[in-house]
Amino acid sequence: MSIELRHLRAFIAVADELNFTRAAERLFIAQQALSAQIRQLEERVGAQLFERSTRKVELTPAGHALYEQAGPLLAGAEAAVAAARSAAASGASLTLGFVASVDHASCSDVIVDFTRRRPDTEVLIRFGDLTEPTGGLRSGDADVAFVYGPFDTSGLELRPLFTEPLGVAMAASHPLASVDDLTLDQVLAEPTFDFPTPDRAWHDYWMATEQRGGTPPRIVAQFRTLDALIELLRSGLGVHTATRPLFEAAGYGLVWREVDGLPPLAHFIARREGDTRSEVAEFVDTALEAFARHE
């Protein structure tokens, strides 16, 4: 029996998390379905891949051996599929992913420069939501993406572009909006909003988990999109970490303040590992050149 890509995705998720519940959340599937896929994979490999108990999950020697090969294999297969889709399309095209519809102004310069260099290549734009930090690269919906922040970068190649300060956004009517010398402790004491992402590093960064020192945040609502977050902030129910472009995109009703103690936000241009298509490589080069001009 053959091994399918879904089996490798399931295996890598469990091997990364060493927890079936978190791995299932990361893949957006039921835990029962994930367990079934792992059992099928073990049957097809002919070896046990995980040692499972009520307390922990560990890779077996066979599991370690497969883990070393599975990541590059899966990345190569996904890149091949993306290349095939591109070749099958009528005319050359490249899909550019954004995590949200707020990004640095230089992103527009990159698109303009690229279309001048590759007038035969159509650039399609894909906006995602705030629960998926790869901008569509992980799902194959994007060929290259502007991404930012710490998140699960397995199978991706990232090139740094710039960093910007992380601060806090709130309603203009919020009591903290008029406080001079706003401190991180004051911000963390306020209610905030959660978002259902399976990416732990991405979630912890925006929720300031490390800065909270083990004290859980007071969650009063949940969001998935940038528009939803902006409306929650305007309601005055709480505050949330943000960068200045979010405040500027809101248009009205919000205040943004830089706060000492929050780590800066790093921005990148990213593609899947193993994707060597010329249009993808040229878009990455164009992005690096455009942002270098604005330093």
- 8 Å CB contact between 220 and 193: yes
- Rounded CA-CA distance 11/34 in Å is 9
pLDDT at position 270: 97
3-state secondary structure of 275: coil
**Length in residues, the chain:** 295
pTM (whole model) above 0.75: no
Helices (H), the chain: 5-17, 20-27, 31-45, 61-88, 106-117, 184-188, 200-206, 209-212, 226-235, 244-250, 278-293
- In this structure, whether the domain defined by 167-263 belongs to CATH 3.40.190.10 is answered with yes
pLDDT for position 106? 75
CB neighbour burial string for 171-200, b if at least 16 within 10 angstroms, e if fewer: beebebbeeeebeeeebbebebbebebbbb
- Cβ-Cβ contacts under 8 Å for 77 (sequence gap 6 or more): 5
Interatomic CA distance for residues 30 and 32, integer angstroms: 5
Cα distance between the two ends of the chain? 54
pLDDT one-digit tens code per residue, 63-80: 998 888 888 777 777 776
**CATH number belonging to the domain at 89-161+266-293, selected among 3.40.630.30, 3.40.50.150, 3.10.20.90, 3.40.190.10:** 3.40.190.10
Which residue intervals of the chain bear CATH 3.40.190.10? 89-161+266-293, 167-263
- Give the per-residue pLDDT at 285: 96
Domain with CATH 1.10.10.10 in the chain: 5-84
Q: Running DSSP on this structure, what letter comes out for residue 239?
A: -
pLDDT of res. 240: 97
Beta bridge partners of 127: 98
> How much is the pLDDT for 144?
97
Q: Which two tokens stand for residue 151?
A: 């998140």
Coil, helix or strand at residue 51: strand
- Mean pLDDT estimate for the chain: 88
**In this structure, how many other beta carbons lie within 10 angstroms of the beta carbon of residue 295?**
6
- Looking up tokens 């905030």, which residue turns up? 192
- What's the one-letter identity of residue 97? G
- pLDDT digits over 5-39, tens only? 888 888 999 999 999 888 888 887 888 888 888 98
| Whether domain 5-84 has CATH 1.10.10.10 | yes
Burial class (CB in 10 A: 0-12, 13-18, 19+), 35: middle
Closest CA to 188 of 219, 227, 230: 219
Residue ranges of the chain with per-residue pLDDT less than 70: 1-2, 80-91, 101-105, 294-295
